[in-house]
Amino acid sequence: MSGAGVTHDLVVVGSANADLVVGVERRPGAGETVLGSDLAVHPGGKGANQAVAAARLGARTALVGRVGDDAHGRLLTASLTDAGVDTAALRVGGAPTGVALITVDPSGDNSIVVSPGANSRLTPEDVRASADLLRSAAVVSTLLEVPVETVAEVARIAAAPGGPRLVLNPSPPRELPREVLAACDPLVLNEHEARVLGATAAGRGAAEELLRLGARSVVVTLGADGAVVADASGTAHVPSVKVDAVDTTGAGDAFTAALAWRLGAGAALREAAAYAARVGAVAVTRAGAQESYPTAAEVSA
């Protein structure tokens, strides 16, 4: 979808969390206690992260989500507003704001436990109330930190005639209804998530399997090895950009947001993924999630 009816480049339907981050020398084993750094609190959540990342790049972006009426909710609303995200469809109340408990080791790898909070109260009715906003977008992006039935409602709006293009990152992974998979253009996921969705191969094979299972197009991210993209025109490898990683938190969200924005602007899947790889590469060289996201000028440099 493109043209005069588009007033947003990207609408994200998804989660907003406060990220509670502690640095550790190594992650604890079962029954083990390790000492960490001072606690840092950052605005996060895969939905809010994508919205901020796209807005930083210059996209006209909105977030459909839910936060609590609490300090974490106010932190997230301020972060989104400061980045230029339209928050008119960000609902308040119903439960405490979602929280992600994150440990980061010296290599930059992280482990995350999420308490969904208000995110789990984002309903299909909330999506229907924002249907005009979704239809105003070139692309709608969503993820699985909100209920599957809510994601299914997004897919129904996207699949209708004249609907926006749908990008889905199935994280945290779980089985998808057939109609949701069929609306994904693309499905953006890593190899672990691909296995949960039914792929038995890795890399290129996983992408091609997920196409056969019903997705319109697929992007399988491979970490330092880049990504594989697959659609009706074929399958291709997109190399990574080599950088020294400081913190990988939220980098996948930056990749997905950049990919979605470039697709909405008319880029081919491989071209959009190559741009997204550059955005993700900048993000991992900086600490934090939303704080690490680059502007378009920084990506060009």
Rg (C-alpha) for the chain, rounded Å, is 18
Tell me what percent of the residues of the chain surpass a pLDDT of 70. Answer: 99
Residues taking part in catalysis: 253
Mean pLDDT of 149-155: 98
pTM metric for this prediction: 0.92
pLDDT tens for each residue of 83-119: 999 999 999 999 999 999 989 899 878 888 889 999 9
Pair 3, 136: CB distance under 8 Å: no
How confident is the model over 20-63, as pLDDT tens digits?
A: 999 999 988 899 999 999 999 999 999 999 999 999 999 999 99
CA dihedral 241, 298, 39, 74 (to 10 degrees): -130
Tell which residue, 44, 40, 55, 51, has the closest CA to residue 16.
44
Q: How confident is the model at residue 238 (pLDDT cuts 50, 70, 90)?
A: very high
Q: Return the structure tokens found at 155.
A: 């897919």
CA 201 to centroid of chain Cα atoms:
24
Query: How do residues 127-143 score in pLDDT, each as one tens digit?
Result: 999 999 999 999 999 99
The predicted model gives 233-254 an average pLDDT of: 90
> By three-state DSSP, how is residue 2 classified?
coil
242 DSSP assignment: P
pLDDT value of position 1:
46
2-18 pLDDT, tens digit per residue, is 444 789 999 999 999 99
Residues 6+ apart with CB under 8 A from 281: 240, 241, 242, 243
- What sign results for the dihedral spanned by CA atoms 136, 140, 145, 147? positive
Q: Look at the chain and count its residues.
A: 301
